[in-house]
Amino acid sequence: MPALALAGALTDRGARVSFIGTRRGLEKELVPGAGYELDLADLRGLERRFSARIFLFIWSLFKGSLDCLRIIGRRQPDVVVGGGGYVSAMPAFMAALMRRRVVIMELDSHMGLANRFLAPFAGRVCLSFSIPGRESGKYVLTGRPLGKNLLEATPEAGRRAFGLRDEAPVVLVSGGSLGARSLNLACAEAFGRGPLSLQLVHVSGRRDFGMLKRKLREQGADLENYHLLDYTNDLPLAMAAADLVVGRSGASVLEVAALGKPALLVPYPYATADHQRQNAEWMAAAGAAEVVRDEELSGTLFRDRVTSLLGDRKRLAAMARAGAALGERDGAGKVAAEIFGLAGKSRK
């Protein structure tokens, strides 16, 4: 979680950090679990089509703004940081109205709706990717904040964590927290029958887990080497253990690059502004990844691409070097430096 990675970099530098979140989000568990205080506000995303939920959104504009005014007034922060998305929009906007310094982070390769709205009010906009037209002034290319659990993960620790052997190659397949249906089905079709010469860590997401578990059992999968998980908190360790990472191409490609891992990327075709395709092409152009279009994906193609890459160790090594050259490992430190710089100005 980039916000927690940034919080760690800030506290290491002596800052006091707290969060604003909702009762519905993962932050309700993750933030207190990481040792930070969490203030709750009634915040909801913009409803893009008419439904009964639009009235909840309208109510949250009123109630959420009052909640944020109360929280910011009590906390008296030097800087308020928005991490993108609807949860950050109201706190950052209210902070600007209260004449507090505002920093926003854009974690994708395009400016999301909330950040496009907030950018005029921000003193700094920290970019994970270079975005055309936003190269100067308040826009700073910092890279994505990465946590210590990722940066300090090692292949040895990853293999121990998932019970993997040293002598066989490891492939990580992950389609994000919800999972990717096309990726899940292609992986089960490709490697879910008979013995395997590789070790597979397949993080399917909770939606498809039950279906895939039944499918693998029916197909006679090699369950000693095919490790199917619905979710894991140890994804950085799984990534570190992998010889090849297969997945979508959201902002997590920066994590793959930072660890220097070769990648086979299947962009989500309906991503906003087609940014996953752009991310994948950015990795491929540098020689760090191969790209497969979602509509072309099949079990046969999946198996052929994976086995071809694993069979070419020189190619994998070259892809790893290319990814490591792309990856920014100190994104959290760079964003923290921008925040401290802005806070210093606000005290003058």
Beta strands in the chain (DSSP E): 18-21, 37-40, 79-82, 101-106, 124-127, 139-141, 170-174, 199-203, 226-229, 244-247, 263-265, 289-291
Q: Are the C-beta atoms of residues 111 and 85 closer than 8 Å to each other?
A: no
Q: Are residues 92 and 217 in the same domain?
A: no
Across 178-262, the runs of DSSP E, i.e. the strands, are 199-203, 226-229, 244-247
- Residue 52 has a pLDDT of 66
Q: Are residues 140 and 268 in the same domain?
A: no
Residues recorded for the chain: 348
- Which whole-number Å values give the CA distances from 20 to 1, 23, 88, 100, 184, in the listed order? 15, 10, 8, 15, 34
Output phi, psi for 85, to 5 deg: 90, 170
Asked if residue 249 and residue 192 are part of one domain, the reply reads yes
pLDDT recorded at residue 24: 79
**Residues with Cβ within 8 Å of residue 111, at least 6 apart in sequence:** 119, 131, 134
51 DSSP assignment: S
What is the reported pLDDT for 77? 96
21/32 Cα distance (integer angstroms): 11
Are residues 136 and 166 both part of a single domain? no
pTM score of the predicted model: 0.86
Q: What domain range includes position 187?
A: 151-326
pLDDT profile of the chain (348 residues), mean per 10: 93 95 83 93 71 70 91 96 87 95 93 91 95 90 94 96 96 86 97 96 95 96 96 94 96 93 95 90 95 96 97 96 91 96 67
HSE on the CB side for 302, CA within 13 Å?
24
**Is residue 341 located within the same domain as residue 305?**
no
- Whether residue 273 sits in one domain with residue 136: no
**159 lies in the same domain as 239:** yes
Q: What CATH number is attached to the domain comprising 287?
A: 3.40.50.2000
Identify whether residues 156 and 258 lie together within a single domain: yes
CA angle in degrees (0–180, nearest 5) for 254-158-308: 65
The Cα diameter of the chain in Å comes to 69
Q: For residues 314 and 338, state if they share a domain.
A: no
95/25 same-domain check:
yes
Q: Please state the domain count of the chain.
A: 2
